[in-house]
């Protein structure tokens, strides 16, 4: 898979991306970080300008973004703009994106990007939550992490990702490790029993119970799905 990130803060993205799961994805993911400033025109390489109609804040200009995307050469499967008013980043969306060959992530800044970029270039808009951050870099990095860890061979144990929260609509089961008894706190007996069927049943029960209690919205969707 190839991922291109377009940003006004390339150093920041490059520094953080090296600390994410991407470092384990060598040979499976090709990641390129593009400095929008390098595609800007004029002496000052300006990437932002005042909004038409007035108002506070600057807007990212369209030219550097168009030029940068055109310079990529091929047509990406998705050009994703990170935006608070986009579709929520969910595990289902991460699964979908992990099957793509080439995705582009565009990080906004200030008031966002000139709307013509969204109309003419962007194929999908993704939000990481109902709050506003100052830039799209962290949201882009969240997408990269959520997607890359699903690519076969990136995680040491592929089964681990399949058992994560949200993967099948339920929250994950609690995990314990040794010692079995610690300061009077005990690991549930069934997990030490060696009986794989009983362990699987226990985990399923606990996952359902936690989903019912913590995320009634997910629980309703899960029940509706298993009933059909
Ligand atoms: N004016 C925009 C609005 O009201 O929706 C907010 C702009 S925000 C200050 C600057 C940039 O941060 C956005 O262009 C976007 O790329 C990114 N951003 C902020 N919050 C985000 C979120 N919840 N999800 C995804 N991207 C976000």
Task: List pLDDT tens digits, range 89-121.
Answer: 999 999 999 999 999 999 999 999 999 999 999
Give the per-residue pLDDT at 83: 98
pLDDT at residue 163 in the model: 87
Which H or E run includes 30?
A: strand 30-35
Q: Closest ligand 1 atom, CA of 113?
A: 14
> What is the helix (H) or strand (E) element at residue 200, kind and residue range?
helix 196-214
Q: Whose CA is closest to atom 27 on ligand 1?
A: 83
Spacing, Cα 194 to ligand 1 middle (Å): 49
| Best residue among 84, 104, 125 to mutate for probing ligand 1, ranked by most atoms within 8 Å of CB | 84
User: Could you tell me the distance, in angstroms and rounded to a whole number, from the CA of residue 11 to the centre of ligand 1?
Assistant: 20
Atom of ligand 1 nearest to the CA of 130: 23
Q: Give the Å distance between the CA of 98 and the centre of ligand 1.
A: 23
> Among 85, 93, 108, 124, which is best to mutate for testing ligand 1, by the most ligand atoms less than 8 A from CB?
108
Query: How far does residue 88's CA lie from ligand 1's centre (Å)?
Result: 13
Report the nearest-CA residue for atom 22 of ligand 1.
84
Answer yes or no: are the C-beta atoms of 121 and 79 closer than 8 Å: yes
| Residue 130 CB-density burial (10 A; 0-12 exposed, 13-18 middle, 19+ buried) | exposed
Q: Please, which residues have CB within 8 angstroms of residue 221's CB and are 6 or more apart in sequence?
A: 169
Q: What is the pLDDT of residue 171?
A: 97
DSSP 135: B
Alpha helix segments (H runs only) across 76-195: 91-98, 115-120, 137-148, 158-162
Q: Which atom of ligand 1 is nearest to the CA of 106?
A: 16
Q: Name the nearest CA neighbour of 207 among 199, 197, 153, 178.
A: 199
Taking 50 as the pLDDT cut, the residues of the chain under it are: none
> What is the model's pLDDT at position 40?
97
According to the model, what pLDDT value does residue 108 have?
A: 98
Q: Which atom of ligand 1 is nearest to the CA of 112?
A: 14
CA of 133 to the centre of ligand 1 (A): 6
């Amino acid at each position: 898979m190839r991922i291109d990130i377009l940003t006004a803060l390339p150093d920041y993205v490059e520094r953080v991306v090296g600390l994410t799961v991407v470092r384990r994805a060598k040979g499976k993911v090709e990641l390129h970080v593009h400095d929008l400033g390098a595609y800007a025109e004029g002496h000052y390489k300006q990437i932002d300008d005042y909004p038409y109609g007035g108002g506070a804040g600057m807007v990212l200009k369209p030219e550097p973004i168009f030029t940068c995307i055109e310079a990529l050469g091929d047509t990406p499967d998705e050009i994703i703009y990170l935006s608070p008013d986009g579709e929520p980043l969910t595990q289902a969306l991460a699964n979908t994106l992990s099957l793509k060959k080439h995705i582009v992530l565009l990080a906004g800044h200030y008031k966002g990007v000139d709307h013509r970029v969204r109309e003419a270039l962007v194929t999908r808009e993704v939000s990481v939550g109902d709050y506003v951050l100052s830039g799209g870099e962290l949201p882009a990095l969240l997408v990269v992490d959520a997607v890359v860890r699903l690519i076969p061979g990136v995680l040491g144990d592929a089964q681990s990702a399949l058992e994560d929260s949200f993967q099948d609509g339920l929250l994950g089961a609690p995990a314990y490790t040794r010692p079995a008894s610690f300061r009077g706190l005990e690991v549930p007996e069934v997990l030490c029993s060696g009986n794989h069927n009983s362990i699987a049943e226990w985990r399923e029960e606990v996952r359902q119970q936690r989903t019912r209690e913590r995320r009634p919205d997910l629980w309703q969707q899960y029940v509706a799905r298993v009933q059909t």
